[in-house]
Amino acid sequence: MQVYEIKKDIYWVGAVDWLVRDFHGYSTYRGSTYNAYLMLGEKNVLFDTVKHNLCSDLVHRIRTVIDPEKIDYIVVNHVEMDHTGSLPAIVEMVKPEKIICSKMGHKNLLAHFHKPDWPYHIIENNETIPVGNRSIQFMETRMLHWPDSMFSYIPEEKLLISQDGFGQHLGTSERFDDEVDLSELMYQAKKYYANILYLYSPQVRKLLQHVADIGLEVDMIAPDHGVIWRTHVDRILKAYQDWSNHRAANKALVVYDTMWHSTEMMAKAIADGIESTGTSMQLLDLSVNHRSDVMTEVLDAKGVCMGCPTLNNGLLPRMAGFLMYMKGLRPARKLGAAFGSFGWSGEAVKHMNKAMEDMKFDLIHDGIKIKYVPTHDDLKVCRDLGVLMGQKVQEAVKEQQ
């Protein structure tokens, strides 16, 4: 099997998952990769493993480089199963001298695999371990995106092995950022941020600041998913700056679900109003747009109009599910407005307003409720809301510059 030498004596030995399309509720249309790295030296070090079902790919690739028993250390940068699923089998095969992890990594490995006898070596934050003529510096990155998460930095190579940070669910035969389409790559990196890291934006900002403060020199970022950054390192770092600082584009979304097309008519009128102001707009029906794709657009939108009719005094389940999902990802500094049709009680707008208030959205309107089917005049009111949203978005975006 193909292995890739990413730096002298450092190999990519991971696995490409061409089949995965649903990653715990995140749509992965392009599949993904689980990256593992093997560094040869006085001590041979394996960084992370792969998902359980792809263990044989990992073993095959390691064997292409060295006998697995010659691995001395296994570094666990992140305990989530897509990177540790193969760990029990690999530990059995390799019999490592050390399994290197953080304090929380140790706790979480025990809680996953129940193996108190493994040769854990718990490192302190910022501890450096020499491995022959190179060294590994460990940086805890708690909650990016699990408590156990950490980075491994090889100063002699200016290489940052960043586990899920800077990752993308992009399954390819190429291993580097300059070998794939850049707009596709940046889209997948954005989708990853919006659906995995968004809620930890304050921690991302802190980490970027820390990295700048200590003057960490990085010419390659090797994440645990997708391709390795070597040509566009500055670009992905700048994107993380923007996303974690909630920088928005002159852009508003109309996200809705509909029962008998009344809420859809309202959505289209609002969309028309937004468009008329020149603000970029996307009309996103939840019946055809996956929640994780909608979140990707939420990341850099300034305004979000949410539409749903009332069903049994509540929301349609797709909207209820989307609001729950979005709330967990903690979008910040958005402008919001709700709308929806109803028959006799009409609670949907109230529920959407409450959800947006919980997310600290700035509501620009009390919301529009229309009984059964909108009239021409009702749609004019909706269009006016769209115009207001477009104008407010432009003002807010101007202020952030």
Instruction: Kindly state whether residue 140 participates in binding other proteins, applying the rule CB under 8 A.
Output: yes
Binding residue for other proteins (CB under 8 A) from 25, 119, 132, 202?
202
- If one asks whether residue 143 binds other proteins (CB under 8 A), the answer comes out as yes
Q: Catalytic: which of 26, 78, 193, 257?
A: 78
- Shortest gap between Cβ of 126 and other proteins (angstroms)? 13
Tell me whether residue 60 is one of the annotated catalytic residues. no
Active site residue 378: no
What span, in angstroms and rounded, lies between the C-alpha atoms of 312 and 253? 26
Q: Which residues contact 205 (CB under 8 A, 6 or more apart)?
A: 244, 245
Tokens 């645990």 correspond to 224
Site string for other proteins, 96-115 (x = CB under 8 A): --------x-----------
Note if 114 is an active site residue.
no
> 130: which residues sit within 8 A by CB, 6+ positions away?
none
Interaction of residue 203 with other proteins, rule CB under 8 A: yes
Spatial separation of the C-alpha atoms in residues 76 and 84, rounded to whole Å: 8
| Residue 229 touching other proteins (CB under 8 A) | no
How far apart are the C-alpha atoms of 224 and 221, rounded to whole Å? 10
Stretch that binds other proteins, among 47-55, 79-87, 135-143, 297-305 (CB under 8 A): 135-143
> Helices 291-300 and 182-192 sit at what angle, rounded to 10 degrees?
100
Q: How many residues does the chain have?
A: 401
In this chain, which stretch among 49-57, 181-189, 200-208, 252-260 interacts with other proteins, using CB under 8 A?
200-208
Q: Could you say which of 80, 177, 297, 378 is catalytic? A: 80
φ/ψ bin of 313: left (φ > 0), alpha (ψ from -120 to 50), beta (otherwise)? left
Shortest Å distance, C-beta 260 to other proteins: 39
Closest Cα partner for 254 from 297, 292, 296? 297
β-pair partners for 152? 138, 161
The span from the CA of 11 to the CA of 258, in Å, is 51
- Report if residue 80 touches other proteins, rule: CB under 8 A: no
Q: How many CB atoms lie within 10 A of CB 129?
A: 17
One of 17, 48, 57, 164 is an active-site residue; which one? 164
The Cα 15–Cα 314 span in angstroms is 44
Cβ proximity to other proteins, 25 vs 202, nearer residue = 202
Please list every residue from 232 through 251 that binds other proteins, using CB under 8 A. none
Q: Enter the tokens of residue 75.
A: 């570094």
- Residue 148 CA to residue 189 CA, distance in Å, equals 22
Interface region with other proteins, contact rule CB under 8 A, candidates 139-147, 186-194, 305-313, 359-367? 139-147
Q: State yes or no: residue 333 binds other proteins (CB under 8 A).
A: no
- Which part of the chain contacts other proteins (CB under 8 A), choosing from 13-21, 126-134, 141-149, 211-219? 141-149
Q: What is the contact surface with other proteins in residues (CB under 8 A)?
A: 104, 140, 142-143, 147, 200, 202-203
Q: Which residues belong to the active site?
A: 24, 78, 80, 82, 145, 164, 192, 225
